[in-house]
Amino acid sequence: MRVFFISLISFLLSIASLWAQSDGHTELLSAKAIAFAEKAAGNFPGQYTIQVARSPKLPPLRSGKVTFDAERISKQEPLGRFFVVFRVYVDGISAATTRVELQSAWSGTLYQAKVALPRKTVITESELEAIAFEGVPPAGAVKELPRDIRLRQPMTVGKILTQMDIEPIPLISAADRVRVTLKKGSLAITSEATAKSSGSMGDRVRLEMDGSKKLVQAIVTGPCEAVIDS
């Protein structure tokens, strides 16, 4: 009987030790997940409040030194519910993968329409009202107002501006007369062409060269200007 009780006590102590070890690993894993998500959030404007949505669970592991290496995050921008995937190592050897589920809220400035705006309106701060926002903003909400943009679609009063609403202002539009430069080494030849497609800075557009009617592709470098690299 005495041997039985000693064995039972040893078993319970080992279980308690494993539980304590697992709990310590859980805390470390949670802290690493939040730090990884906060680093990703640093690429975006505004402030993010990130916390664990569900306590992580580790698979059974052999005894040894356990370490974690964050591999990826499920969302490019850590908003709402998301998770971080970790590789689990025991004594430096890959043993398993696990993930930590997180949730976040955002605070910062968003923009909404002061009045109804038609399609192709060139957007400046005068058409919009800056508002303080806390929570999870609409998908694609514009957090920093870009320059040289216009509306891709109409906006109603009070609508929050999103990336789906805007597009760069074309520097070349179809049918525009374009000054096009052909570059080959140190040689540059300039000619005239007619645009067959539209594009913003850095976009490729189709041009019909004067005289030959040949269609070429060129890179937009400015208003009604493009270059062909050869």
Find the length of the chain: 230
Are 81 and 151 in the same domain?
A: no
* φ, ψ dihedrals at 3, nearest 5°: -60, -40
Residue keyed to tokens 């525009």: 176
On whether both 6 and 102 belong to a single domain, the answer is yes
Examine the fold and report which residue of 130, 148, 168 is the final residue of a domain before the chain moves on. Answer: 168
Position with higher pLDDT, 69 vs 7: 69
Query: Do 152 and 191 form a contact (C-beta atoms < 8 A)?
Result: no
Range of the structural domain that residue 140 is part of: 107-168
| Same-domain status, 10 and 90 | yes
Same domain, 134 and 102: no
> Which of 66, 84, 106 is the last residue in one of the domains?
106
- Residue 66 above 90 pLDDT? yes
pLDDT band at 107 (very low <50, low <70, confident <90, very high): very high
- Judgement on whether residues 8 and 101 belong to the same structural domain of the protein: yes
Query: What is the tally of structural domains in the chain?
Result: 3
C-alpha span between 130 and 132 (Å, rounded): 7
Using one digit for the tens of pLDDT, what is the confidence trace for 179-198?
Answer: 999 888 788 889 999 999 99
Looking at the structure, do residues 12 and 100 belong to the same domain, yes or no?
yes
pTM exceeds 0.85 for this model: no
Do 115 and 129 lie in a common domain? Answer: yes
| Residues 36 and 54 reside in one and the same domain | yes
- The domain that contains 151 carries what CATH number? 3.90.1210
Same domain, 92 and 126: no
pLDDT at 44 over 80: yes
Q: Same structural domain for residues 150 and 189? A: no
Residue finishing a domain among 106, 134, 156: 106
Q: What is the CATH number of the domain that holds 203?
A: 2.30.30.760
Is pLDDT of 132 > 60? yes
Same domain, 37 and 66: yes
My answer on whether 6 and 101 are in the same domain is yes
